[in-house]
Structure 1
Amino acid sequence: MPPQLPQNKPAKSTLSSFLRRPPPAPPPSSELTSDPFVPLPPSSIRHSPAPAPRVLAVEIPLSILRPIAFRVFTKKHNLTLKSDALALLCQFVGRKCGADWRDSGAGEKLLDEIARRWKRAEAAGKILVDGGDSLKSVLKSFDVPTAANSPALSRTNSNLSAMELAGDIPSSMLMAGGTGDVEMSMPEEARDEIEDNVDPNDFLKIVDAFEMPKTVYNVSKKMFERGQKPSFFPPPSAKTALFRARYNTLYSRLQRNESFLAPTYSKSAPSGAPKSHYKLTPISALLGRAGQNFMLFGMLGHSPSGHLSLYDPTGEIALDMSLAQLLPHADANWVCPGMFMVLDGVYEEDGRFTVFTLLSPPPERREQSADVFGHVDFLGNGVSLDMSHLTHGGPQGRTMRRIEEALSHVRWVAVGELHLDVPRTLEALRHLFTRYSSDPPLVFILAGSFSSIPVTPGDAPSVRVYKENFDALASLLADFPSICAQSTLLFVPGDNDPWASTFSGGSASAWPRKGVPEVFLNRVKRVVSDVRCASNPCRLGYFTSEVVVCRDDVAGRFQRSAIRFSKARSAEEMDLDGHDTPPPVVDTDTKLVRKLVKTLLDQGTLSPFPLSKRPVLWDFAAHALALYPLPTALFLIEPNIHPFAVTYESCHVMNPGRFLVRHRASWVEYAPAERKGVVFEEGF
């Protein structure tokens, strides 16, 4: 009988030396049993010459594992454990991790991996985990050798089949650089073989905003589900559903943050001690509790009387912003009506809420989102979010990531505000194409507006000139046959391009918006082999990466709509003794870039504005404009901001700026293998 788990922690050195003694080998067997707790026979597994020592199994009581399993399965993965499943997990964790399962953290990591495999095996359709055959099959998969832990596995029966990924890739190149270890360096011959046999265009998919599958967050199930096909003429309820969808997504993201995650068990803390976590209170729960301090979460907006208020699904409350300060500092991000914020303050007797501090909801890294919603395919290109995770993407995800890293020569080039009606623009384009004619990039992202003045269909000369500008571009491209044959030209419209400019006159039109009509690009298509007219915004799927391309004058809209705060100094500008400390010297342009990137990614959408400031298509905005989960990279084409390339919470944000400024041209070159971009500015 296995020893009981001791209540008091024994001496670590004595216990560790005792547990490292390998137990006797199990008797050989000729059959594979269905019981996940019976070890596989030695004849079915090829061991390395020096196998790792096995730990001694222990018996874990249900009461000890229950709070940890609840935190992992229920709070993190939104799954419900039955008592028989918990008993099964107690035996499995005790057998796999031994007596140090809790102190070393191995037990919690093992439970996290079991929950992920359960969601993948059950296709996210079963949130109740019982101790039946489904859970036993998941547990038994931990004992089956894979390419990652079986070096002797032959290439012929490897599950990293090349035919499953690209059809023509030989399996030898997939196994040459190691068996599933992404961080292991790849030999030169394997890298050359991948470059010679893999066509990156086969793994590039451009997803239009109007073709992107609609995913809706289900509050009761706490998971994303496939929604109904969106419509251009939705019912009036779609207008409120748009903001409710944003609230539910941000609120669930906020509840998974460590600062707001309540512990499964707590000890009595002394009075005056800092809180271990923050608690959000709905607005409807403030009634009759005047004079108390609360933390609220909701959307800022103006009431019909003109006062600034906070809205959540339970109600609204007027705000007093006279004492409000923005955290972590005054220039951290913009605060505008239409944004969701976390407010800390006091509920007054007259029904107002006096705000002391405001905080933008902290974002969630793409890897953390993959731990919860890794089974969801947000782009509809057959690549789930879990595949972008370096350790939890499975064999196929690791293989695709290895091929993506091996194609280090692949480059994307992004150009913004390309006014083709300006003569010097074609000269700058000739300079750009000459630079890349010897080694053409995979994609040229050409963003509008392609005309310096709005194009109106009723004005025949204006339409004719617009068509002639693209014909001139086609004549220019004909001088670079290598680019025409090997590169993909992606055209993303701006505000002056047809046909939205017909009604907006160059101002902001409803978002997302259709691409440039293909009738204007007929001559360009005769010259270039691959021409795409995508919506604004659009998304690019490349192996396990997701890249968002957006063209919008968002910085000016933030500056016009921002709420101003008092000039009182924040606590971080003073040291502990009360003496002033000089603030860090940061360039003004750098401040503006950080402010812009943080505001958008924190809000989780490309348009955090009320419909009066930024009209959107109700049924398309919730998923087509969403920045959750965070993309791998974001091309934020903002011509009124200087070019930049920064990384925030593992999301790389790039802005090529305005393509032509006097005698200088600027663009961004993006390397998908490294997931980094570089800004280029050259005179011509």
Structure 2
Amino acid sequence: MADEKLVNMIRNTFSLYGLVISRKLSVSLAKEFLNIEENEREIWLTQIAEQVLSQDLNDTHVTIENLQLAIQEYIKPNTLKNAETVLNVIDVFDVPRIKYDLSKKKFVLESITPDLYAEAQYKSTIFKDRFELLWYRTLRHELFIPPMLGERKENWIELIPIEYLLSESKEGNVYVMGLLSQLVEGQYYLEDTGGSIKDGLIMECSIVIANGDFHDGVLYVKNLGFPPAESSNNARVDFGNANAFGGQSEFSLKLSEKLKTYEESNKDGMIVFVSEMWLDDKTVLRKFKTMLEGYSEYPPIAFVLCGHFLSFPAKSSSGQKLVEGLKNLADIIMQYPDIKRDSKFIFVPAINDIGSPKILPRLPLPNNLTEDFRNNIPGAIFATNPCRIQYCTKEIVVLRGDILTKMCRNTLHFPFQGNIYDHYAKSIICQSHLTPLSLPMLPIYWKYNHSLQIYPTPDLIVTADRFEAYETVYSNCHVINPGSFSKNDHSFKVYVPALNLIEHCAIPKDIDV
């Protein structure tokens, strides 16, 4: 029989935390406490009540499930919950849409009903959604927050909506934000959701902030720049502990202390990124075998292999060649049991790989072609392009597409100073979008524009491009290109999550096996 004094102490302690526990549960808990030294019971009880309070409770009444979870958390604080995945590869067709809610005055998450071939109305909202995300993101930047009543604020910039600029016949020096578009051939306009004004330069379909003199419906631009980037921490304030990145967990795993502890304990853990992994090329497979040999004693967390997976354009024989290439790759992996057991193999198809239209986001390689490989290699994951990877608290976005090349080709004003990949990193992060291009330059599924957004900014963006290998950092986000494994001296990139470190590697020519 439970001690009545102990039962009352339990009920009173929970009451102090604003919680209501039934007598039946109090008696059950008191019986468990009889096995604990009397001088330690109060400490246990306080910790369990705090654990219950930290749970997402619907009301103040404590359930048996709440108690069981609280006791488990207290006894084994480093045990991961089911949704706290160490490694999770996220299908971008399942990521939530981020939208600004005017009534709540903050960004919110929305689920999307799957539909690849959506109605035409979704095409018209692509650039509207991009603009609104950047508009409301910019308005809360320190430079653009208006002064409070009675406050004097220097260096404040007032962004004027184009609709207001036109309707009020305002003239003189102004700052406006809009989408650069060529409404008339050879004449560029700056558009927002309410109107458009003529502009003079730079990159079509980028959203920019223009400063200049406005006269007679024409903006004579003095300065043109991107909306300022927003730090990842600031962007996450609106979402609280909600998961904006995607995946199984309802809560943001970036905030998980247990995953952070796990991540920091695995200081040697690494993720290898390889691009242009030609599975029909004997030299590529031989070099990859050399790579596995080097990692055989310390298997990486994952190998992220990006397409193209064949050395020739898609044709009638592509399916059979891909199956043969995957079989040869599986035979190589099975020679290294530790790697086969411990490492994941994540395949990200290029836009020209077999099995899907040349539209982003791209579906994974077809199941019927990859079935044998998945049966032989338990760590195989065939992902979308782009895909998202969550490793502990790190958020990674992988895109296989020649986006830098396309942006250079279509830029109205090419920057001649600095590294081009630094400009590229700034462009996609300030635009909060992986492919800030027009639809003719790069088709996307209208309803899945949000899956190409990178907001909040992740920890690492991998843009596997035909461009030479590079790495740079902008707004605390690493942006890397592993380079072409098949063409650029069999180079690849390695990411060490615990240290947030990037390493450039290559297979030397003189150690072929």
User: What is the TM-score of this pair, normalised by structure 1?
Assistant: 0.61
CA RMSD of aligned residues (A): 3.1
Inter-CA distance 33–338: structure 2 relative to 1 (3 Å threshold): same
Letter in 2 for 1:345: G
* 1:634 and 2:501 are equivalent in the alignment: no
Which structure's CA Rg is the greater one? Answer: 1
Distance 2:242 2:236 in 1: 9
* 1:318 and 2:198 are equivalent in the alignment: yes
What is the CA-CA distance between 1:666 and the residue it aligns to? 1.0
SS of equivalent residue, structure 1 residue 614: coil
SS of equivalent residue, structure 1 residue 399: helix
Do the aligned partners of 1:214 and 1:229 also contact (CA within 8 Å) in 2?
no
Q: Which residue of 2 aligns with 1:373?
A: 239
Letter in 2 for 1:629: P
Distance 2:343 2:73 in 1: 37
Do the aligned partners of 1:450 and 1:497 also contact (CA within 8 Å) in 2?
yes
Do the aligned partners of 2:100 and 2:136 also contact (CA within 8 Å) in 1?
no
* 1:413 and 2:272 are equivalent in the alignment: yes
Q: Which residue of 1 aligns with 2:208?
A: 341
Do the aligned partners of 2:80 and 2:258 also contact (CA within 8 Å) in 1?
no
Distance 1:247 1:547 in 2: 24
Inter-CA distance 157–377: structure 2 relative to 1 (3 Å threshold): closer
* 1:219 and 2:102 are equivalent in the alignment: yes
What is the CA-CA distance between 1:245 and the residue it aligns to? 1.4
Do the aligned partners of 1:208 and 1:538 also contact (CA within 8 Å) in 2?
yes
Q: Which residue of 1 aligns with 2:448?
A: 620
In the TM superposition, 1:505-584 aligns within 5 A as 509-564=358-413
Q: Which has the higher strand share?
A: 2
Do the aligned partners of 1:255 and 1:261 also contact (CA within 8 Å) in 2?
yes
* Residue 286 (structure 2) aligned to one of 387, 405, 427: 427
Inter-CA distance 268–362: structure 2 relative to 1 (3 Å threshold): closer
Letter in 2 for 1:342: I
Structure 2 residues without counterparts, runs of 5 or longer:
1-11, 19-40, 44-54, 61-69
Q: Which residue of 2 aligns with 1:652?
A: 478
* 1:161 and 2:77 are equivalent in the alignment: yes
Q: Which residue of 2 aligns with 1:3?
A: none
Distance 1:653 1:285 in 2: 38
Higher mean C-alpha deviation, range 335-344 or range 468-477: 468-477
Distance 1:679 1:384 in 2: 33
Q: Which residue of 1 aligns with 2:92?
A: 209
* Residue 285 (structure 1) aligned to one of 156, 159, 164: 164
Query: What is the number of equivalent residue pairs in this alignment?
Result: 454
In the TM superposition, 1:174-193 aligns within 5 A as none
Letter in 1 for 2:481: N
SS of equivalent residue, structure 1 residue 427: helix
1:219-255 CA distance string (max 9 Å, x none):
3322313233131122211112221211121111101
* 1:449 and 2:308 are equivalent in the alignment: yes
Inter-CA distance 121–295: structure 2 relative to 1 (3 Å threshold): farther
Q: Which residue of 2 aligns with 1:184?
A: none
Q: Which residue of 2 aligns with 1:95?
A: none
SS of equivalent residue, structure 1 residue 210: helix
What is the CA-CA distance between 1:644 and the residue it aligns to? 2.4
Letter in 2 for 1:453: F
What is the CA-CA distance between 1:486 and the residue it aligns to? 1.6
Distance 2:115 2:319 in 1: 29
Distance 1:442 1:345 in 2: 51
SS of equivalent residue, structure 1 residue 259: helix
Inter-CA distance 157–675: structure 2 relative to 1 (3 Å threshold): closer
SS of equivalent residue, structure 1 residue 225: strand
Distance 2:96 2:173 in 1: 42
What is the CA-CA distance between 1:300 and the residue it aligns to? 0.7
In the TM superposition, 1:26-425 aligns within 5 A as 158=74, 161-163=77-79, 165=81, 202-221=85-104, 222-267=106-151, 275-287=154-166, 288-289=168-169, 291-321=171-201, 335-349=202-216, 351-378=217-244, 379-382=246-249, 384-385=251-252, 388=254, 393=255, 397-425=256-284
SS of equivalent residue, structure 1 residue 465: helix
Inter-CA distance 33–518: structure 2 relative to 1 (3 Å threshold): closer
User: What is the TM-score of this pair, normalised by structure 2?
Assistant: 0.81
Q: Which residue of 2 aligns with 1:85?
A: none
SS of equivalent residue, structure 2 residue 134: helix
Structure 1 residues without counterparts, runs of 5 or longer:
1-29, 36-43, 47-119, 124-133, 138-153, 168-199, 270-274, 322-334, 504-508, 568-585
- Identity among equivalent pairs (%): 25
Letter in 2 for 1:680: C
